[in-house]
Structure 1
Amino acid sequence: MKHLSLLAGILCALTLVAIGLWVRSAPGPFAPVELVSVPAGRIDYRPFGNFAHGGKAQTPRAEPVEVAGFEIMKFQVSRSQYAACVASGACPAVPATGGEMPQTMVNWKDASAFAAWYSKVTGQHWRLPTDREWQLAAAERYGEASADPGDLDPGERMLAQYKAGVLLRGTASPVLRSAGGFGLNSRGLADISGNVWEWTDGCMESGTLAEDGAVLASEPYCWVRIAGGRHRAAVVDFVRDASVGGCAVGLPPDHLGFRLVREAPSGLGRFF
């Protein structure tokens, strides 16, 4: 019996090694993913949503927020990676899969399904970044199109946000580019704040403000999620193409895609 147990243990160990060797040499979604380590830092974070003071709409002020360090994909999830998830039956089919272009035409639920599947096949924990993590990772490429705090009626606020968004977007073409086409930011992340907005786990909020713009009370409504890009966008979670509707605030994103954060690996994660 002891010999059988020993043999079973050896076979199990050899199997794990074989899986690890296969994973390291496998193409597509099982190839090693380039990661960027973002050290802990402080950001000036402005809550995103609908806020009011004295019954009038007002923009909340930015507050310093400490964000813990994390690892994030250098590149956005590609069409070939997403196609593998579709082929496995774990992700919904979407237009334009296959190849190394960024996967777009995905909603927040699609991105979350991919994160769950990728966690399962790699033995690691992958997830969408929080909106605070995304802001820290974006560094100098982070932009927001919030109207200036003050007494603006709804029409003036919408116009101010629209103008700010246009300035931030500049002359960016809506045509997709291959991975790395928008270059690297100072942290080494590729294509961040290009023309693919990236889903985060951040939710829009509704709340009340003090006279100085500080948030007194707020409540998230997570059927609208925050996408990071040249400016923040609030998009209904089931929308895959916000250019035709579903953007809750300001200018809609050109394209919707995503990249994932990796938490501490476990199990087979040591082979990746």
Structure 2
Amino acid sequence: MSAVENKPAFPFLQTALPIALIATLAVGVAHQVGFLAATPPTAALYEPQTIVVAPRTFQYRADGEFIRGVHPVDAPMSTVRRTDPLTMMKYQVTVSEYDACVMEGACAPSAGPAAPDATLPVTGVNYDDALAYARWLSQKTGEYWTLPSDQDLAFAAGKRFPDDASGLDPDNKNPALKWIADYEREAASRSKRDPSPRPIGSFGENEYGLSDFGGNVWEWTTTCHRRVHLYANGSQEGVETICGVNVTVGPHRSPISTFMREPRGGGCSVGTPPDNLGFRLVKSTKWYAPLLQALRQRGIIT
């Protein structure tokens, strides 16, 4: 008999089927021992409107300060192939939605101005506030909600995602040119400032139905700011990850200390600070999302 004839007829089934059976068994056992809670009967009352961004390949320039030798350079553009869809809130979390969490004692009051309109996006919230709301919403819906990463936002924002590149020659040895380019971009950004939050929907939708991205509310992400050192040939030498300073994204990226609620007062931001800090969440649709939520409720994960 030839080697070809000895090959299994259905190699995919021989690997995928056992994995699926094990996964089903694991979920069943967890449910039987009470580890997975039933969906709350009032879950629909708290379910936010979402969009689903289909898998695709896209261009992405990672956040960070990139230094080649001793000279600052633009981060390289990379091609990212995303194979799973992303479910994300269509709108930023609103004042009324956040206040419901505050009234139950699960969230700290925001530092934003008193809002005459409950449909305004909540502002004056820091990274921990956003995490607290994600935990509260997950409990109310029985789902697993988290903040997006910087790459998640780039995937969902599409053409509206900001490109922070200066466009300078990467072989440039004059750091002043990079500083001048950054200054000119920041000056242009300051000239367009309109800091008063507006009701959701005021800034329109992108090609995927995501609303208000790139307006005047910057959105918290789980991505820590980085300083990336490159060799002369452009390959990576080392990375300093600066957690405690997370990337926020709006008309431009801005790394902000996670405790800050009002960025215009400082907070280790690089460049022009955001006008307002808010957020939106992503929902996990993985088969093991209920298990993640159960682990979060028990304080095993955040």
TM-score, length-normalised on structure 1? 0.81
1:148 is matched with 167
2 CA distance for matches of 1:128 and 1:112? 7
2:205 is matched with 184
1:175 is matched with 196
1:169 to partner: Cα distance: 6.9
Identity of aligned residues (%): 34
Q: 2:152 aligns with which of 113, 117, 133?
A: 133
Matched, 1:250 2:265: no
Q: Which of structures 1 and 2 has the bigger CA Rg?
A: 2
1 CA distance for matches of 2:167 and 2:260? 28
Q: Secondary structure at the match of 1:194?
A: coil
Could you list the runs of 5+ residues in structure 1 that have no partner in the other structure? 1-15
Query: Is contact 1:128-1:199 (8 Å) kept?
Result: yes
2 CA distance for matches of 1:168 and 1:212? 33
1:74 is matched with 90
Matches within 5 A, 1:156-235: 156-167=177-188, 171-235=192-256
Deviations 1:244-272 (A, max 9, x none): 211431211111100000012649x9xxx
Q: 1:114 aligns with which of 133, 157, 177?
A: 133
1:57 is matched with 72
Q: Secondary structure at the match of 2:195?
A: coil
Matches within 5 A, 1:9-20: 20=41
Query: Is contact 1:205-1:221 (8 Å) kept?
Result: yes
1:146 counterpart letter in structure 2 = A
1:105 counterpart letter in structure 2 = G
Q: Decide whether aligned partners of structure 1 residues 197 and 152 sit closer, same or farther in structure 2, where only a CA change above 3 A counts.
A: farther
1:47 to partner: Cα distance: 2.7
1:69 to partner: Cα distance: 1.9
Q: Secondary structure at the match of 2:211?
A: coil
2 CA distance for matches of 1:65 and 1:182? 27
2:153 counterpart letter in structure 1 = W
1:104 is matched with 123
2:157 counterpart letter in structure 1 = A
Q: Decide whether aligned partners of structure 1 residues 145 and 60 sit closer, same or farther in structure 2, where only a CA change above 3 A counts.
A: closer
Q: 1:41 aligns with which of 31, 56, 61?
A: 56
2 CA distance for matches of 1:155 and 1:243? 26
Superposed CA RMSD? 2.5
Q: 1:83 aligns with which of 89, 92, 99?
A: 99
